[in-house]
Structure 1
Amino acid sequence: MTNRHAPDGKGVPGTTLVVVPTYNERENLEPIVQRLHAALPTAHVLVVDDGSPDGTGDLAERLSASDERVHVLHRAGKSGLGAAYVAGFHWALDRDYAAVVEMDADGSHAPEDLPRLLAMLGAEGAGADVVIGSRYVTGGRVLNWTWQRQWLSRGANIYSKHALGVPVNDSTAGFRVYRRDVLAALPLEDVASQGYCFQVDLTLRAVEAGYVIVEVPITFSDREFGDSKMSGDIVREALLRVTRWGVRRRAAQLYELFNPQR
Structure 2
Amino acid sequence: MSKIADNIESTPHSDLAKGDEHSVKTGRILVAIATYNEIENLPILVERLVDTLPEADLLVIDDGSPDGTGQWCEEHAKMNVRMHCLHRKGKPGLGSAIIAAMQYAIDNNYDVMVNLDADLSHPPEKIPELLEAWRLADSDSTVAIGSRYIHGGGISGWPLKRHFMSRAINMYTRWLLWLPMADCSGSFRAYPVNLLRKIDFDSFLSYGYSFFEEVLYHLKEQGASFVEVPFQFVERQYGSSKINMRKAIVAVWTIFRLGLKAWNPF
Common fold: TM-score over 0.5 = yes
SS in 1 for 2:18: coil
Residue 216, structure 1, aligned to residue 223, structure 2 = no
Rounded to whole Å, the distance in 2 between the matches of 1:149 and 1:198 is 19
Residue 225, structure 1, aligned to residue 238, structure 2 = yes
State the match for 1:4 in structure 2.
11
For structure 1, which segment, 110-119 or 70-79, has the greater mean C-alpha deviation from structure 2 after superposition? 70-79
State the match for 1:46 in structure 2.
59
For structure 1, which segment, 125-134 or 205-214, has the greater mean C-alpha deviation from structure 2 after superposition? 125-134
Residue 92, structure 1, aligned to residue 105, structure 2 = yes
Q: After TM superposition, which residue ranges in structure 1, 4 or more long, deviate above 3 angstroms? A: 124-128
CA contact (8 A) 1:130 1:176 kept: yes
State the match for 1:260 in structure 2.
none
The Cα offsets for residues 131-188 of structure 1, whole Å up to 9 and x where unpaired, read as 1101111111000011111111111001111122211211111110111111111112
The Cα offsets for residues 53-76 of structure 1, whole Å up to 9 and x where unpaired, read as 000000001110111111111111
Residue 31, structure 1, aligned to residue 41, structure 2 = no
Measure how far apart 1:77 and its partner are.
1.7
Q: How does 1:1-262 map to 2 (within 5 A)?
A: 1-7=8-14, 9-13=17-21, 14-122=27-135, 124-127=136-139, 129-252=142-265
Rounded to whole Å, the distance in 2 between the matches of 1:28 and 1:251 is 43
For structure 1, which segment, 151-160 or 85-94, has the greater mean C-alpha deviation from structure 2 after superposition? 85-94
Q: Give the number of aligned pairs.
A: 252
SS in 2 for 1:121: helix
CA contact (8 A) 1:86 1:189 kept: no
SS in 2 for 1:73: strand
CA contact (8 A) 1:82 1:192 kept: no
Identity score, percent: 38
Rounded to whole Å, the distance in 1 between the matches of 2:34 and 2:60 is 6
Q: Tell me the TM-score normalized by structure 2.
A: 0.90
Rounded to whole Å, the distance in 2 between the matches of 1:203 and 1:150 is 21
CA contact (8 A) 1:26 1:55 kept: yes
Query: What letter corresponds to residue 66 of structure 1 in structure 2?
Result: M
Structure 1 stretches lacking a partner, 5+ long: 256-262
Rounded to whole Å, the distance in 2 between the matches of 1:161 and 1:220 is 21
CA contact (8 A) 1:12 1:97 kept: no
Rounded to whole Å, the distance in 2 between the matches of 1:126 and 1:118 is 14
Query: What letter corresponds to residue 99 of structure 2 in structure 1?
Result: V
Query: What letter corresponds to residue 60 of structure 1 in structure 2?
Result: C
Rounded to whole Å, the distance in 2 between the matches of 1:32 and 1:50 is 18
Q: CA RMSD in A?
A: 1.6
Measure how far apart 1:121 and its partner are.
1.1
- Larger Cα-atom Rg: 1
For structure 1, which segment, 232-241 or 172-181, has the greater mean C-alpha deviation from structure 2 after superposition? 232-241
Query: What letter corresponds to residue 179 of structure 2 in structure 1?
Result: V
Measure how far apart 1:87 and its partner are.
1.1
Measure how far apart 1:11 and its partner are.
2.9
Query: What letter corresponds to residue 39 of structure 1 in structure 2?
Result: T
Structure 2 stretches lacking a partner, 5+ long: 1-7, 22-26
Rounded to whole Å, the distance in 1 between the matches of 2:59 and 2:264 is 40
State the match for 2:5 in structure 1.
none
Q: Tell me the TM-score normalized by structure 1.
A: 0.91
Measure how far apart 1:5 and its partner are.
4.0
Rounded to whole Å, the distance in 2 between the matches of 1:193 and 1:65 is 34
CA contact (8 A) 1:129 1:179 kept: yes
Measure how far apart 1:126 and its partner are.
4.9
CA contact (8 A) 2:206 2:254 kept: no
